[in-house]
Amino acid sequence: MYEIPKINVPVELLLMDGETVEGIMFVTEDLVSAGGNPLIEEFLNEDPDDFFPFESTAGAYRLINKHHLVMVRSDQDDTEAKAKTMIPAKNLVVHFTNDRTVYGLVYPTLAEESRVSDIINQTKAFIVIYQNGQKLIMNRDHVIYVNAN
């Protein structure tokens, strides 16, 4: 049987029902940034499957429905994002359907995406923001509105 090589990525998931689960996502080896960081957002956006494998720190193996995933918190920081752009970071406050609110920054990489509205209106479901330097991947489908400064 053929297996696709995967990288174990420690994350914390916030689900639609408010549950927070810590554990490991399994991201394909080819989805790694130039700096060696697993591209969780690319995995979530590009993998056509609605469910992805996840192992909680409690040892439970789950298949998580992407559509019920509100946000992913990773151990990655914003060092690589800062190095990729000369455009100043933009502040935002994201209000989710499950009454959660997240304050953070987005780092535009293209002049055409220099406003928060440009970034939030991308066609990809999962978008990267940073909170206190920590990488978060949010699901646009669960965003009610965004305040942008």
| pLDDT digit string, tens, across residues 24-67 | 999 888 887 777 788 899 999 998 899 999 999 998 999 999 99
Above 70 in pLDDT, residue 72? yes
Whether 108 is covered by a domain: the verdict is: yes
pLDDT given at position 128: 93
Same domain, 95 and 115: yes
Q: Structural domain tally of the chain? A: 2
> Is 23 in the same domain as 36?
yes
Pairing label, strands 6-15, 20-28? antiparallel
pLDDT of residue 2: 65
pTM of the full structure: 0.89
User: 30-39, 78-87, 88-97: which has the highest mean pLDDT?
Assistant: 88-97
Which positions ≥6 away from 100 have C-beta within 8 Å? 14, 18, 70, 71
**Segments forming the whole domain that contains residue 22:** 6-76
Q: Is 87 helix (H, G, I), strand (E, B) or coil?
A: coil
